[in-house]
Structure 1
Amino acid sequence: MDAKTHSPSAHDRPLPLLAKPAARLAAIEEGRNATSKQRRPRKPASSAAARSTLFWVHSDPQSVSGGTREETLKRIRSHVMSEHNRKKRLENTKRYNNKPWKNLAFQPVESTPSTASSDRSQHSPVDTTSSQSSQDTTPERDGVQFSACVQPKQATKNASVLPARVPMGSVSPPQDRYYPVKAPDPWAYLGQGSKDPFDMMPVALSDRMLRHLQHFLCDLTRAAYPLQRHSKSKLQSHWASLVQTDPAPLHACICCAASNLAVMSGDLPLVDPTKRWSSPLVFDSFQHRGETIRLVNQGLSDPARASSDALIAAVSILITIEIASGNPDHLKIHLAGLRQMVALRENLADVAPDIRFQISWTDIRVSCLTLTKPIFPFVRYARPSQLPNLVPDRNAPTTASRLLSLTQIPGILGDALVEIIYDLLELTLYGEWVKSGTLYSQELLSEETEDYFNTEVLYVEYSLHNDRYTETGALKGDSSIEGCVRLACLLFHNTTIWGFYPQMAVVFPRPIIALRNALESTILSGSYVLCRDLLIWLLFIGACSAPPYFAERSYFVSELASAVSLHGLQSWQELRALLLGFFYVDRCYMIPCRELWDEIQMVQQRR
């Protein structure tokens, strides 16, 4: 064989890198079998003795080879685990100290640190129920959901510098803590969150905006039609579609709701204009009013949107808001603008029925506030053909009977007012049946009948305001029996149907003041010598409509005491029996009648 065939193979070659001296092997073996030595106590943290024994890994070229040795990796793992265990001990101690039941006789079994650690590894959210101590620097956790803490292994894997080991009993710096990470709100993925989960609104809604919008859609829309049984959901759907398509009616509805709440709380009308920002409701009302005006002016610059239902509805609601603020100058500006916008349509009947109802309601409320003639023509519905004659209840045979008997006397009541009295009588009977829940006929429960009578509510009040003027527009005057009866019917209508008086008397005081002035002149002229019962009813309606702090109420009560004494009434039952011959319902006037009788007795005793 040649030299190639007799050369040693690779298995026969020596391994000098793995070979070690026998003495060194024996020392290593002896070190493994020996018991672990007791660790020396750590020196106090001062100067160089407190410095960490760790070093930069994979950043210094000279330490690259030493950083992957087994003993170096052991030191790293030992440091990380000791930090991890120290933090767990601190967390468990803090949790135990903050337990409210730790001083009780019975204490629930606490989980061991290992169990708690395993539970946290299985569940991603961290337990955030423990309260914070005064020294805790953890961020606020109230009402916030957190995800899992960053694990130490993950931290050492991603970090290039290992944190220094902190002695027991000391507080680690904030940057070395493993803070829980705030999880995103699930509603953040759905539009505007829980307020608008499907992103239907044209603008983002805050909490207060949402509450005001809910008050408008759920409360104010139900009060829009006073005699409704079928129109609740339909009216809510109508306004909900408007606020979703255009931001102008959205801000107008929010402003209307805030103004309504401000009126109910007594913040509106403003007594002191310098305190308009002291109430959040007044602030929201003025803020969204300004935004509505800006959006309406922006929409009026577009000919395609100038006469849209959304802008007309927004301006109509703005007028309602100005009614609550009691500013006649702003009312005239908005009414003129609304009239021009409606004029762009062919006629008022071309507007959607619900928006037309809002326009008529606003126009009539302005007339009640300023005691002027309505500016918009009224679109009256035809009487349903299947509507039967209303059968009166046990009090109905006498309801308005005495008032209607005055129509037989020439020159006392005009033909237009007599027709209004008949319409008001039918509306009062239907309204009391609806509000008492005693409707007997299926025809009276139909949606067509309901729409007809809800429109009649506005038409009767429209006719009462319009009857104060002649065909040429001249004011007839209220200083007559007809004028006093007209004003009393207006107050009765707004009390029994809308419930405005006496609660909203501060907003609509003009009819009360006008009735007082008309009664003063007619009583002095002796107009009620032959009909003192009519005078008693007029004074009774005025006294029940005016709140106690109105000066007009004192006048009504004083004159009523004199009229009752002259008529010879001895009890409140006799007073009630007399009032049943006019417009009177126990639902609204029974309690005021008894209270008013007590006041009359006190006035008579003082005399």
Structure 2
Amino acid sequence: MTDVDVTRPAQLLFLPTNTAVFRKTNDHVRRIINRHVQRRAQRRRRTDGPPPPSLMIDVFPSPADIEEIVTDADPVTLREVTDDDVEFLHAPSPSPESTALAVVAPVFQPQTYLDSSRMDPFLTSQLTITPAVAPIYNRYFIDIMSVFEPLHQEREEYNSWLVPLTLKEPALLYALLACMAYDMEEVPSANFGPVRRRDMLGQRVQYQLLAIEALNRSLSNPALALEATTLLAVHFLSWQENSIDGDSVHLNGVKRLLALRGGFKGIHRKEIETIMGGNAWHAIRTRSRPILPTVLDDLPMSEARFQEILDGSDPCVAKNSAQLLSRSMRSYFGADFWALLQDSRKVWICYEQIGTFPFEPLEKRYISIKRVNIDHRFLSYALDHPDDVEHSPIQEVVRLAYILYSRAHYGIVQPSSVVARALVADLKYALEQSDLRSFWNDASNVLLWVLFLGAHMSAGQVERSWFVTAMCKIRSDKMRGDKSWFGARRVLLGCYYSDRVFMESLKRVWEEVETLAGLLDLY
């Protein structure tokens, strides 16, 4: 043992020479050795920084280390480690005996010194995603994004845009974390289900305060105040504000920032959709006109191009809203609302195929802008045309049904949320003001579509049975021919509907309708 060159620890291997004794080695000995080595490695990293990678890493203690371990160990459970138990072999000139032993020795590969506690181990970010932050951060980009952007191509584009921004700007990261902490406090997953509250209040308030503190620094800098990250951070604070108390302080802040920077010019289309979505939520909850104005269209689409897209669309997509625009429905709608329905048909046929149809990047941006502007027009229509509501109750029902469809499509609106509660209450009230006894006569198919959406948005809520019962009456009195799910789906395709988004939920609704119809037939 004395002739070993301990000044070159990277060339030493720790090998058992006595197999029988090695098997009898107390587990406590190995635990103490491992713990001691880990403490030494941690101290070395703190003082000297990470050592450079080498072909053989010093992961075993030197003889002096073992002596120190034996001295500090519990004498009852730890016996002395002797030279008969282990020997240190010099790697450059192995003996024949050591060569035989080296066959069973572990092979040590080059190691990298990356911090496994970081989501960004290469230190590309200015911020540290700690183990406490990671679950909340992952919830948005894994659980929620898979629902909000179900198509892989669109999800990749969203993440490639937003992830670098969150790692760059503290205000945006903390605002997003505050939103997700609130979401995790309310429900455990993105899917509809009963609310199971979690105690995230402390984290949510902490991240909200950090976001506001970081925002104050950004807003004090004229250049940073106009950045897309600042605009989005204020939006995420308004999102949480919307969900909890219905206030509009931060949404008004978004409006002021947009006025300062001259609108959404240079802003990614996904950010436009996100911010205008929060604008719509506030308008629904407060039953008021949207605070933010419409977005400037910066690339019109010609009729010839839309016809080309329509011809290349799936037949199910091409039927979108055809029933609403049929000749039999014209008498139920005013002239301005009829024009709005025609515009919305073009937008949704295109929007439904983003991620599958070969649109140009500028076309995608145009479609996104047109969609949020169509939503804006539907939200403010009743306030802009109050006489139309009194003239045609059916028109008001269709308007609310469209808003519900647009919020539920690619959106995560929990039926228990304040926004969903407001939508369902308004839709149910509007339906009761229409002539439900006649089931809207020749517009019964449109009524069935409206009731489907109401049942979808009231999953687990008291209104669900009301919508299902009304659908059961339409099924028995108005539906002709196929009364199965396939017949109901045919009706849905003529209005606003997407298999990818709604099939699973609406199929369950129809199963409830068929169950109720079967029970009624027994009595």
TM-score (ref. length: structure 1): 0.60
Partner of 1:13: none
Contact 2:269 2:365 in 1 (8 A): no
How far did 1:245 drift? 3.4
Partner of 2:132: 208
Select the residue among 177, 185, 188 that pairs with 1:265: 188
Question: Within 5 A, what are the aligned runs for 1:86-485?
Answer: 111-112=17-18, 131-132=27-28, 140=35, 147-152=59-64, 194-217=118-141, 229=153, 232-265=155-188, 279=199, 281-323=200-242, 325-329=243-247, 332-349=248-265, 353-379=269-295, 380-385=297-302, 386=305, 388-391=308-311, 393-395=314-316, 399-405=320-326, 409-410=330-331, 412-431=332-351, 433=353, 439=357, 444-470=358-384, 480-485=393-398
* Structure with the bigger percentage of helix: 2
Q: Deviations over 1:342-383 (max 9, x none)?
A: 332234436565544432222123223444321112223433
Structure 1's 514 and 154: CA in aligned 2 closer, same or farther, altered over 3 A? closer
Structure 1's 356 and 491: CA in aligned 2 closer, same or farther, altered over 3 A? closer
Partner of 1:56: none
How far did 1:595 drift? 0.7
How far did 1:482 drift? 0.6
Partner of 1:513: 425
Q: Partner of 1:401: helix, strand, or coil?
A: coil
Partner of 1:564: 475
Partner of 1:494: 407
Contact 1:225 1:454 in 2 (8 A): no
Structure 1's 130 and 467: CA in aligned 2 closer, same or farther, altered over 3 A? farther
Q: Deviations over 1:384-429 (max 9, x none)?
A: 455524025444675533321257644x212333233234333444
Distance 2:66 2:189 in 1: 61
Structure 1's 523 and 554: CA in aligned 2 closer, same or farther, altered over 3 A? farther
Contact 2:347 2:367 in 1 (8 A): yes
Distance 2:79 2:444 in 1: 93
Q: Which fold has the larger relative contact order, with Cα–Cα distance below 8 Å and residues 6 or more apart in sequence?
A: 2
Contact 1:252 1:288 in 2 (8 A): yes
Distance 2:173 2:452 in 1: 42
Distance 1:398 1:343 in 2: 39
Q: Partner of 1:373: helix, strand, or coil?
A: coil
How far did 1:520 drift? 1.0
Counterpart amino acid of residue 418 in structure 1 = W
Structure 1's 371 and 144: CA in aligned 2 closer, same or farther, altered over 3 A? farther
What is the RMSD computed on CA atoms of the aligned residues? 4.8
Q: Deviations over 1:551-589 (max 9, x none)?
A: 222211222233333325472254444444433444424
Distance 1:170 1:198 in 2: 43
Q: Partner of 1:375: helix, strand, or coil?
A: coil
Distance 2:65 2:449 in 1: 90
Contact 1:307 1:344 in 2 (8 A): yes
Q: Partner of 2:448: helix, strand, or coil?
A: helix
Distance 2:350 2:268 in 1: 26
Partner of 1:543: 455
Structure 1's 221 and 365: CA in aligned 2 closer, same or farther, altered over 3 A? same
How far did 1:295 drift? 1.9
Q: Deviations over 1:266-289 (max 9, x none)?
A: 7999x99xx98x53x554333212
TM-score (ref. length: structure 2): 0.69
- What is the identity percentage for the equivalent residue pairs of Structure 1 and Structure 2? 20
Distance 1:501 1:267 in 2: 9
Distance 2:427 2:494 in 1: 20
Distance 2:181 2:320 in 1: 39
Distance 1:153 1:205 in 2: 36
Structure 1: runs of 5+ lacking an equivalent: 1-76, 81-108, 117-126, 157-162, 174-185
Partner of 1:179: none
Partner of 1:552: 463
How far did 1:316 drift? 0.8
Structure 1's 480 and 359: CA in aligned 2 closer, same or farther, altered over 3 A? same
Q: Deviations over 1:122-148 (max 9, x none)?
A: xxxxx9x973289x9778479878654
Structure 1's 395 and 417: CA in aligned 2 closer, same or farther, altered over 3 A? same
How many residues align? The count is 450
Q: Partner of 2:27: helix, strand, or coil?
A: coil
Contact 2:158 2:270 in 1 (8 A): yes
